[in-house]
Amino acid sequence: MNKTFATILSGALSGTLLAASAAHAFQATEHKRLGDEAYVAAIKKFTSERGKFGLSDAQRLNWSGPGTIYAGTVDPKGEVGYLTFGDLVSIYGDMVASYEELNRPQSKALIAEWRDVARTDNLSRNKDVNRREMELAYVNETHFAGKAVDAYVAWHQKALDGAAQGGKNGLWSSLHYEALALHSFTDLYAVGHMMIDRDATMKLLAAAKAEDKVGYALIDDGIKQFFEANIDLLKGATDEVKGKYLLGFYANFYHNGFNYWGAKVSNLNGQTWQAYGDHRLKDSPQHEQIIVTAAAESIDQVLQTAVGKPPAANNRFMALRYLPVRFTNAACSVSLQQEQKTVLNALIKENTKIMNDGGIDASLLKKQKVADGTVAYLAEIKKYCGPSCAGK
């Protein structure tokens, strides 16, 4: 490897690296589909209970079709608009960071862009949303591994608490928190998010760089040249911020490979199926059905809590038993350092398509099998899941 590689890599990445840093478990459209299907399944079971809600929720929840949910402040003068539950699952985490950010009055100017991205995956014509996604890309640890489990537990609990305290006046806001929870939850069905832990990736890279300090230094240099020359967001940024984007690029590279090649997975319910990640949700109907069933069960807990039927304390996180926790026949892409020529050819072939692909298309790279195993956060899932997961 020589310095020419660093220069070529920097040029090949021009206009693309931020998209590659934004590691998604599923595309925006896939998140929307999962959220909408789960919500429809949940509210079908809830038909007889809808009359128990007061005027506030009657005005903020539309139950017909996939349903729409109010976004904005409690004061209707601060209305942002109405979104489907699937829109909310798609938006939270990738396009906005928090409940407060989505529901502030100034977000009204962004609602058309949010809807368009959730329905089309087109970021190139929605530049404000695209920029915000890139800002969030290097701090999305809550979309991966054990941190995604913690995020689901925290936000699902917040949704249950809100539904219990103000079911007749605040179910709509509890459903926002549930959508935030389910973004992280559904991410964990993508093989790349099961297998990639950003902390673990950092340790792995440190070990790899120790083996070939010069090679990885040149890759880093090529990417950093791109940072300094091409990205307004990162001009003048600290080395720590640039380092997080660099880590995002590496994590995304491996994440895309796992998502593309997939794995045979199983959960604590005893179900086994073929799983993939973004762009490949439709390739495994069983995969999609298991996600929808689990998410619908989680939503149902919030709805039932709002009418005075909360789950038992040790059953609040039972949906975790549906998460894939064991894997066989998994594979990722061969490393950047080992396959520099293949990587460069893939970048040149992809060109601007890389923006919509969310990184390098793994089908253009070489496959590398990984050992069968169990997710590192299995004990955490069992702890939260309670008796329904005990001894499994």
Tokens of 194: 């099961």
pLDDT(296) > 90:
yes
Which of 144-148, 217-221, 296-300, 306-310 is the least confident region? 217-221
The yes-or-no verdict on residue 169 having pLDDT over 90 is no
pLDDT in tens, 95-120: 999 999 999 999 999 999 999 999 99
Of 88 and 376, the structure prediction assigns the larger pLDDT to 88
Question: The tokens of 57 are what?
Answer: 């929720």
**Strand ranges of the sheet holding 68-72, from the earlier edge strand across to the other edge:** 61-62, 68-72, 79-83
pLDDT confidence of 316, banded at 50, 70, 90?
very high
> In which band, very low, low, confident or very high, does the pLDDT at 131 lie, cut at 50, 70 and 90?
confident
Residue 88 has pLDDT above 90, yes or no: yes
Rounded percentage of the chain residues whose pLDDT exceeds 70: 61
In tens, the pLDDT along 16-71 reads 444 444 445 568 899 999 999 999 999 887 876 766 665 456 668 887 777 899 99
Q: Give yes or no for residue 84 having a pLDDT over 90.
A: yes
pLDDT at residue 319, as a whole number: 96
Q: Is the pLDDT of residue 318 over 50?
A: yes
Would you place residue 333 in the very low, low, confident or very high pLDDT band (cuts 50, 70, 90)? Answer: low
Average pLDDT over every residue of 322-348: 68
Beta bridge partners of 331: 369
User: Band of the pLDDT at 11, cuts 50, 70, 90?
Assistant: very low
216: CB partners within 8 A, 6+ apart: 205, 208, 209, 337
Angstrom CA distances, 106 to 78, 79, 81, 111, stand at: 9, 10, 11, 10
Cα(160)–Cα(336) distance, rounded to whole angstroms? 44
DSSP helix, strand, coil percent of the chain (3-state; round to 5):
65, 10, 25
pTM for the whole structure: 0.78
- Give CA–CA dist 333/365, Å, rounded: 6
Task: Say whether 14 sits in a helix, a strand or coil.
Answer: coil
DSSP string, 46-112: TGGGGGGS-HHHHHHEE-STT-EEEEE-SSGGGEEEEE-HHHHHHHBTTTBSSHHHHHSGGGGGGHH
